[in-house]
Structure 1
Amino acid sequence: MLESRRFVIIGFFALVGIIYLLRLFYLQVLDESYSIESSSNSIKRVIEIPFRGQIYDRTGKLIVYNTPVYDLLVTPYKARVDDTLRFCQVLGIERRDFDSLMNAASAYSRVKPSLFLRQLSKEDFASIQDIMVDYSGFEFAKSSLRTYTAPTLANTLGYVSEITKGQLEKQEEPYYRQSDYIGQSGIEKIYENELRGKRGTKFVMQNVSGVYKGPWKGGELDTMAVAGANLYSGIDLEVQQYADSLMVNKVGSVVAIEPKTGQIISMVSAPTYDPNILASRYFSKNYAALARNPYKPLFNRPVMASYRPGSTFKLIQALIGLQEGVITPESGFTHANCPVGCHNHPATGTVALGVMHSCNPYFYNVFRRIIYKNNIQNTFKASAVGLDAWHDAISKFGIGQRLGIDLPSEYKGNLPNKKYYDRFYGEYRWKFSNIYSLSIGEGELLITPLKMANVAAIIANRGYFYTPHVIHGIGDGKKVNPEFLVRHDTGVESHNFDPVIEGMIGAVEGGTARRSRVEGITIAGKTGTSQNKRGDDHSIFIAFAPAENPKIAIAVFVENAGAGGSAAAPIANLIIEKYLTRKITNKALEERMFKADLMSKVILPGQKKPISADSLKKKLISPDSVKKKPVVKPATTPAPKKQ
């Protein structure tokens, strides 16, 4: 018994010894990482940052690409600068900048490299590369700068900037490091994981002075950086730039959609800015200037701004009334006992004429019939029950909810229901006389320009829509997000769209939008005038064309421009013609819209009157307004606070 225990103990220690020897053999012979660590004085591990994916328009034109640049890094404990004055002269910085940057780097880590100067061009790098060999502790790292082929789509594309401390701490996987760049808004943010690519690693040999001596082991352990996936958008760059030009000196939005796919053709937020000014070493200065601008060029109006839809909402009222059977295409109404006023127009004895002439009393009666299901009783309970049914039918058009576009911060708007009014009046203490303004798109309704462009697409498709989206393809295979292939039905049968579309065509041919009709193209449109507490009303127009085979649906909002036919309709119809024919026939109308300066009508919060146009222009930033600095600029890393 004792003898067997002795063999067990000996066997146990022998096994431990064998395991120890095998582990030692693995670490010293097989495991390359151990060899790399043990040779840290002569072998350096370099992280390769991949290029971000590029972005293309629907015709294959490049919108966003990368320009190679270099960042200068410093490792404080290795840094040796005997002649600080000469060093500063080489880099084009002040002595105080040098001290501040070195203090900031030391506060981060004395043994880890951190950013000293960012975004040196190839020319900058070439001019100082040889000189920097004399200064140990400094090294260059390849980087890239987002570059835009045209000064457009700033809010839609978004921007990239240095990752914040909060973002570093919250990241789910340890991918980003200090000074890395990350998409902060727009497409750059939504598709960050696809755009960022995959980091690479290479091992290089260097001498005691840090001078590069070639790849270690011929680079057999290196891994290549993989560039981010390219994105393919539905944007038509030519049409986008044309829409931008029409919205100069105006506040508002343009959203154009391809009805049969949901792809965004154009998206304008005005006033805007050149995206290149946030893709430079002057990011902090330019961002601060944009943030201070009272007209909020950083605010993405197509998906974030809220307006009352005005008369454009009458289209949905008509469709719900027809689907519910409370009206027919031949229904007509008088103006008697109607609390909403009417424009001076011929009789509206049909749905088509009601739409064509945008008759307020007509749609007051339509809404009343929807709420009471043709049993006209102005009671509290009937109003509440009818409103909730109306709310459910309207919500199928995407109103009062987020559509799910691939852009951040989409505003869902407001579509009131029973609970909404109960909070203000008390349960069953309100009735139709409290809510009738909803009939003509006023009252508590709030929508975004994106939603009204989607309504135009729904009518163009006669009852359905696909989630609007900017990007329709990801990577070489142009993979499509499956969410954008789901068809959403409104529950309105296709034949009920006939009288509404007839009225929309009539509005452009001889009604409220007749002054901006386009020869040779049948456009179905509807004007709207959104009430505004400050200054003139907002001008709205939604449309699609060609009416017989729709290829574009559009919504245009121009703040403080008055009636829908005065500004929004001409801009929309010019964009439609540009997209469908690549030319403009009505040059006089085009010139008038180019020259229209409507920003001077805008009354900002806290003001009693508009700002003059000249004063406003001084507040807007442009790339030309940024003065050229020396070729090398200090990084924006702040100096640490004094204890």
Structure 2
Amino acid sequence: MLENRRFVIIGFFALVGFIYLSRLFYLQVLDDSYSIESSSNSIKRVIEIPFRGQIYDRNGKLIVYNTPVYDLLVTPYKARVEDTLKFCRVLGIERRDFDSLMAAASAYSRVKPSTFLRQLSKEDFASIQDVMVDYSGFEFAKSSLRTYTAPTLANTLGYVSEITGAQLEKQEERYYRQGDYIGQNGVEKIYESDLRGKRGIKFVMQNVNGVYKGPWKNGILDTMAVAGENLYTGIDLAVQQYADSLMVNKVGSVVAIEPKTGQILTIVSAPSYDPNMLASRYFSKNFAALARNPYKPLFNRTVMASYRPGSTFKMIQALVGLEEGVITPSSGFSHAGSPIGCHNHPGTGTVALGVMHSCNPYFYNVFRRIVYNNDIRNTYKASAAGLDTWYGYVSKFGIGQRLGVDITGEYKGNLPNKKYYDRIIGEGRWKFSNIYSLSIGEGELLVTPIKMANVAAIIANRGYFYTPHVVGGIGDKRRIDTTFTRRRETGIAARHFEPVIEGMIGAVEGGTARRSKVQGITIAGKTGTSQNRVGDDHSIFIAFAPVDDPKIAIAVFVENAGAGGVAAAPIATLIIEKYLTGKVTNKALEESMKNANFMRKVVLPGQKRPAVADTARKRINNPDN
């Protein structure tokens, strides 16, 4: 009995010993991670950052690419710099810069490497590489710099910069580390997960001085970095640069869309800046300078600036009136009884003539009929119910809503309804006489330029649109978010668009935009003048062409330029001709617009505000409203 027990005990200890020996063999021989850890003095784990995906225009032209650069890293507890002044001369920095950079690195971690100098060029790296071997604690890491083929699209593309502490803490997956770069705005931010690629890891051998001695185990454990996916946009780079040239010395926006797809062809926020300014080691200094610029080049006016649409909104009024059945294509109105004045023009006996001549009394009466559903009683109850009906139609054009474009910072604008006026005036205290300015696109109505370009696309398509978007394809398979391929209906029957389009053609051929005709191209357009409490009014024009097979829909806003036919319409039609034909025939108009300087009319913060003429008188004398 005792003999059997002795064998059990011996067997137990033998089993335990075997288990320990097996584990030791696994850790020392089979498990590479243990080997790597035990050889930490000679084997280094190196993270390889992939190149970001490149960005192309619709014709395959490169817009954004990567230039290889080098970052200099420092591990404070290892750093040894006996002659600081000599070290600073080698790197081309001041002593105070050295002190602040070392302090920042130590504050982050004394035992972990962090960035000391960023984005050294290949030439800089080659000139100091051998010298830096003498300074322990410093090492180089290969990186890349975003580079732009042309100084354009800055606000749309966005920029890439070092990840912030707050972003590090908020990330859902632990992908980014201190010192990593991340898309901070625009397309770079929205498509970050596609553009960033996948990191690689390699193990290298080095001697006690940190000198590279080759890959460890011939790289058998290394994983390759995978470059980010390329983006293929709908932008026409040649037309984009042409539009930029027309918006020099102007404040405003240009947005052009391909109606059939919703792809953005051209998008200008003026004034802008060269995107290379925010893609260098001088990012902080350049960003601060741009932020101080009184003309706000960092403010993306295409999706963030809010304007009253003025007379460009009248087409929507006509379409809602036709759909509701309160007017017909042949409905006419006199000027009598309208509180909004008008300029001298022939009679407005049809919807087409109302649009062509931009008749204010005509659209006052259209809006009144929509709100009252032809039951003309100026009461709160009637106004509130009719206004919400009108709101339901207009909101389907994207007004007062975020369209969901792939550009950061999109504003909703403002589309007032019953709740809005109940809040600002008081429930039961307002009626039609308080809101009739909405009839001509004024009052509390606010839109962004991209929304009005989308309205032009809706009219071109006779009632539907695709959400405007910059990127038309991701990666080799050119995949796209299904949000941008879903057809969105306005609920307005296609037949109702014909009289409106007839009026828009008339406006270009012989109306308020007749100065901007293009030989051989039938353009449907509408001028507008947006009321402005500070300085001159804003010039607006929306259009599409060719009418029978629309390929481009456009909106142009030029701040403080006055009537729509003065600046916005000529710029829009020049861009239309350039896109459709590849050339411009009206050289005199082109030269005039390139040389026009409306920036001097812009009232900057702190400047004395000029007196603004009486609104009613401005409306009477303005041919756009």
Residue 70 of structure 2 corresponds to residue 51 of structure 1:
no
Per the alignment, residue 206 of structure 1 pairs with 206
After superposing the two structures, state which structure 1 stretch, 475-484 or 422-431, moved more.
Answer: 422-431
User: C-alpha deviations, 1:225-275, integer Å up to 9, x for none?
Assistant: 111110000000000000000000000000000000000000000000000
Q: Which amino acid aligns with 1:586?
A: N
- Aligned equivalents of 2:560, 2:32: Cα separation in 1: 69
Structure 2 CA distance for partners of 1:439 and 1:3, relative to 1, 3 Å: farther
- Aligned equivalents of 1:5, 1:497: Cα separation in 2: 100
After TM superposition, the structure 1 = structure 2 runs for residues 62-101 of structure 1, keeping only pairs within 5 Å, are 62-101=62-101
Per the alignment, residue 256 of structure 1 pairs with 256
Residue 425 (structure 1) shift: 2.3
Structure 2 CA distance for partners of 1:333 and 1:39, relative to 1, 3 Å: same
- Aligned equivalents of 2:460, 2:75: Cα separation in 1: 62
Q: Which amino acid aligns with 1:53?
A: G
- Aligned equivalents of 1:392, 1:602: Cα separation in 2: 36
Q: Secondary structure at the match of 1:575?
A: helix
Q: Which amino acid aligns with 2:495?
A: H
Q: Secondary structure at the match of 1:155?
A: helix
User: C-alpha deviations, 1:275-317, integer Å up to 9, x for none?
Assistant: 0111111111110010001111000000000000000000000
Per the alignment, residue 509 of structure 1 pairs with 509
Q: Contact (CA 8 Å) 2:234, 2:470: kept in 1 or not?
A: yes
Residue 11 (structure 1) shift: 7.8
Per the alignment, residue 402 of structure 1 pairs with 402
- Aligned equivalents of 1:581, 1:367: Cα separation in 2: 39
Q: Which amino acid aligns with 2:261?
A: T
Q: Which amino acid aligns with 1:77?
A: Y
User: C-alpha deviations, 1:197-222, integer Å up to 9, x for none?
Assistant: 11111111011111111111111111
- Aligned equivalents of 2:404, 2:480: Cα separation in 1: 15
Q: Secondary structure at the match of 2:115?
A: strand
After TM superposition, the structure 1 = structure 2 runs for residues 215-254 of structure 1, keeping only pairs within 5 Å, are 215-254=215-254
Residue 16 (structure 1) shift: 5.7
Q: Which amino acid aligns with 1:167?
A: Q
Structure 2 CA distance for partners of 1:8 and 1:319, relative to 1, 3 Å: farther
Q: Contact (CA 8 Å) 2:259, 2:550: kept in 1 or not?
A: yes
Q: Secondary structure at the match of 1:72?
A: strand
Q: Secondary structure at the match of 1:476?
A: coil
Per the alignment, residue 449 of structure 2 pairs with 449
User: C-alpha deviations, 1:516-546, integer Å up to 9, x for none?
Assistant: 1111100000000000000110000000000
Q: Contact (CA 8 Å) 2:255, 2:555: kept in 1 or not?
A: yes
Residue 605 of structure 2 corresponds to residue 597 of structure 1:
no
Residue 546 of structure 2 corresponds to residue 546 of structure 1:
yes
Per the alignment, residue 533 of structure 1 pairs with 533
Structure 2 CA distance for partners of 1:5 and 1:470, relative to 1, 3 Å: farther
After superposing the two structures, state which structure 1 stretch, 126-135 or 243-252, moved more.
Answer: 126-135
- Aligned equivalents of 1:191, 1:320: Cα separation in 2: 37
Q: Secondary structure at the match of 2:140?
A: strand
Q: Contact (CA 8 Å) 2:294, 2:605: kept in 1 or not?
A: no
Structure 2 CA distance for partners of 1:264 and 1:18, relative to 1, 3 Å: farther
User: C-alpha deviations, 1:437-474, integer Å up to 9, x for none?
Assistant: 00000000000000000000000000000000000100
- Aligned equivalents of 1:412, 1:459: Cα separation in 2: 21
- Aligned equivalents of 2:83, 2:431: Cα separation in 1: 82
- Aligned equivalents of 1:69, 1:12: Cα separation in 2: 61
Per the alignment, residue 40 of structure 2 pairs with 40
Per the alignment, residue 380 of structure 2 pairs with 380
Per the alignment, residue 476 of structure 1 pairs with 476
- Aligned equivalents of 1:86, 1:559: Cα separation in 2: 54
Per the alignment, residue 576 of structure 1 pairs with 576
After TM superposition, the structure 1 = structure 2 runs for residues 42-441 of structure 1, keeping only pairs within 5 Å, are 42-441=42-441
- Aligned equivalents of 1:485, 1:196: Cα separation in 2: 25
Q: Which amino acid aligns with 1:438?
A: L
Q: Contact (CA 8 Å) 2:54, 2:230: kept in 1 or not?
A: yes
- Aligned equivalents of 1:146, 1:189: Cα separation in 2: 14
Q: Which amino acid aligns with 2:306?
A: S
- Aligned equivalents of 1:206, 1:364: Cα separation in 2: 81
User: C-alpha deviations, 1:390-410, integer Å up to 9, x for none?
Assistant: 101110101110000001110
After superposing the two structures, state which structure 1 stretch, 152-161 or 29-38, moved more.
Answer: 29-38
- Aligned equivalents of 1:260, 1:516: Cα separation in 2: 24
- Aligned equivalents of 2:352, 2:130: Cα separation in 1: 77
Per the alignment, residue 627 of structure 1 pairs with none
Q: Contact (CA 8 Å) 2:47, 2:202: kept in 1 or not?
A: yes
Per the alignment, residue 558 of structure 2 pairs with 558
- Aligned equivalents of 1:180, 1:159: Cα separation in 2: 14
- Aligned equivalents of 1:449, 1:595: Cα separation in 2: 23
User: C-alpha deviations, 1:137-189, integer Å up to 9, x for none?
Assistant: 11110011100000000000001111111111111111111111111111011
- Aligned equivalents of 1:101, 1:289: Cα separation in 2: 22
Structure 2 CA distance for partners of 1:418 and 1:5, relative to 1, 3 Å: farther
After superposing the two structures, state which structure 1 stretch, 132-141 or 226-235, moved more.
Answer: 132-141
Structure 2 CA distance for partners of 1:261 and 1:17, relative to 1, 3 Å: farther
Residue 605 (structure 1) shift: 3.7
- Aligned equivalents of 1:490, 1:7: Cα separation in 2: 88
Q: Which amino acid aligns with 1:297?
A: P
Q: Which amino acid aligns with 1:115?
A: T
- Aligned equivalents of 1:522, 1:263: Cα separation in 2: 22
- Aligned equivalents of 1:397, 1:427: Cα separation in 2: 27
After superposing the two structures, state which structure 1 stretch, 452-461 or 15-24, moved more.
Answer: 15-24
- Aligned equivalents of 1:43, 1:192: Cα separation in 2: 32
Structure 2 CA distance for partners of 1:18 and 1:320, relative to 1, 3 Å: farther
Residue 604 (structure 1) shift: 2.2
Structure 2 CA distance for partners of 1:10 and 1:185, relative to 1, 3 Å: farther
Q: Contact (CA 8 Å) 2:156, 2:186: kept in 1 or not?
A: yes
Structure 2 CA distance for partners of 1:138 and 1:533, relative to 1, 3 Å: same
Q: Secondary structure at the match of 1:600?
A: helix
RMSD after superposition: 1.7
Q: Which amino acid aligns with 1:133?
A: V
TM-score (norm. length: structure 1): 0.93
- Aligned equivalents of 2:595, 2:436: Cα separation in 1: 39
Per the alignment, residue 463 of structure 2 pairs with 463
Q: Which amino acid aligns with 1:527?
A: T
Q: Secondary structure at the match of 1:182?
A: strand
Q: Which amino acid aligns with 2:366?
A: V
Per the alignment, residue 614 of structure 1 pairs with none
Residue 492 (structure 1) shift: 0.5
- Aligned equivalents of 1:484, 1:281: Cα separation in 2: 36
Residue 95 (structure 1) shift: 2.1
After superposing the two structures, state which structure 1 stretch, 550-559 or 377-386, moved more.
Answer: 377-386
- Aligned equivalents of 2:531, 2:142: Cα separation in 1: 53
Residue 100 (structure 1) shift: 2.2
Residue 19 (structure 1) shift: 4.9
User: C-alpha deviations, 1:38-90, integer Å up to 9, x for none?
Assistant: 10000011110111110000000000000000011111222222222222211
Q: Secondary structure at the match of 2:254?
A: strand
Residue 18 (structure 1) shift: 5.3
Structure 2 CA distance for partners of 1:4 and 1:405, relative to 1, 3 Å: farther
Structure 2 CA distance for partners of 1:19 and 1:313, relative to 1, 3 Å: farther
Residue 26 (structure 1) shift: 2.9
Residue 485 (structure 1) shift: 0.6
TM-score (norm. length: structure 2): 0.95
Structure 2 CA distance for partners of 1:499 and 1:2, relative to 1, 3 Å: farther
After TM superposition, the structure 1 = structure 2 runs for residues 516-527 of structure 1, keeping only pairs within 5 Å, are 516-527=516-527
Q: Which amino acid aligns with 1:151?
A: P
Residue 194 (structure 1) shift: 0.7
Q: Which amino acid aligns with 2:432?
A: F
- Residue segments in structure 1 that go unaligned for 5+ positions in a row: 611-643
- Aligned equivalents of 1:49, 1:315: Cα separation in 2: 52
User: C-alpha deviations, 1:4-23, integer Å up to 9, x for none?
Assistant: 99999888777665554444
